[in-house]
Homo-oligomer: A and B are copies of this chain.
């Protein structure tokens, strides 16, 4: 793991790193010591420092005292174009234009990408937890949309994750993985989501095996999660990790 830059301001330190070919960013409070860690998965077409990721990460650091790590998904951010994923995305686009349903195509694509990102994120977690200013404290996962499609198999596979915020995703491809998740989950649904059919969202929530799981549904389209849900997210992770 190689750090390529470090800046601190307003109580938040940001370190960019490379783990092999994976570019990532770690945010921590300025004070030393072990602390809970949130792994954040960004959305499709976004990257590790997209505004909504950064905004929430900064709140985790300043309001909860957590560390936060995010890495670019293959084909996103600082990573090279991914020929196979691009080809599949183009094919899916053509299939939707020819009348196929969007949701199962998205879900199939996310399942394919997850086969690569789950081991990548586990390796990142291994490396980050060796840092003195993070340590091996409790881990949470936050990811919606693509971050849910990749997050469900990650949380299912990774026993270090103790709580997760997921959402804006459907059951098409990940119901099997969801059935292996037993940690507390806060699950976000946009009631008028134009990308994920409502019944698919509810089915994914239903499939989670967690004894404590809570679904928060709000009106609006895929990207319109209301600001008060971020407060709820902070409260959720504080309850389960702090």
Contact string against B for A residues 219-242, beta-carbon threshold 8 Å, 1 for contact and 0 otherwise: 100000010100110010001000
Residues of B within 8 A of A215 (CB): 189, 191, 215-218
Residues of B within 8 A of A6 (CB): none
Whether B214 lies near A218 (C-beta < 8 A) is yes
With A231-B235, A235-B231 known as contacts, the answer to whether A216 contacts B216 (CB < 8 A) is yes
Q: How far is B235's CA from A228's CA once the two chains are assembled, in angstroms? A: 10
Residues of B within 8 A of A216 (CB): 214-216
- Kindly state whether residue A32 has any CB partner on chain B within 8 Å: no
Residues of B within 8 A of A219 (CB): 211-213
- Kindly state whether residue A142 has any CB partner on chain B within 8 Å: no
- Kindly state whether residue A121 has any CB partner on chain B within 8 Å: no
Q: How far is B226's CA from A139's CA once the two chains are assembled, in angstroms? A: 23
Whether A213 lies near B205 (C-beta < 8 A) is no
Whether B228 lies near A205 (C-beta < 8 A) is no
Q: Considering the complex, give the chain B residue whose CB is closest to the CB of A232.
A: B232
- Say whether chain A's binding surface is mostly helix, strand, loop, or mixed: mixed
By the criterion of a CB under 8 Å from any partner CB, how many residues of chain A are at the interface? 20
Whether B213 lies near A214 (C-beta < 8 A) is no
Residues of B within 8 A of A202 (CB): 202
Contact string against B for A residues 154-168, beta-carbon threshold 8 Å, 1 for contact and 0 otherwise: 000000000000000
Whether B212 lies near A226 (C-beta < 8 A) is yes
Residues of B within 8 A of A232 (CB): 232
With A232-B232, A239-B228 known as contacts, the answer to whether A214 contacts B217 (CB < 8 A) is yes
Contact string against B for A residues 192-207, beta-carbon threshold 8 Å, 1 for contact and 0 otherwise: 0000000000100110
Q: Considering the complex, give the chain B residue whose CB is closest to the CB of A205.
A: B217
Q: Which of B211, B217, B228 contacts A217 (CB 8 A)?
A: B217
Q: Considering the complex, give the chain B residue whose CB is closest to the CB of A228.
A: B239
Of listed A213, A219, A239, residue having the most chain B CB within 10 A: A219
Q: How far is B231's CA from A206's CA once the two chains are assembled, in angstroms? A: 24
Closest 6 pairs (CB-CB, A-B):
A215-B217, A214-B218, A216-B216, A214-B216, A213-B219, A228-B239
A sample of 8 more A-B contacts (CB under 8 A), given A215-B216, A228-B239, is: A191-B215, A212-B226, A213-B218, A214-B216, A214-B226, A217-B217, A231-B235, A232-B232
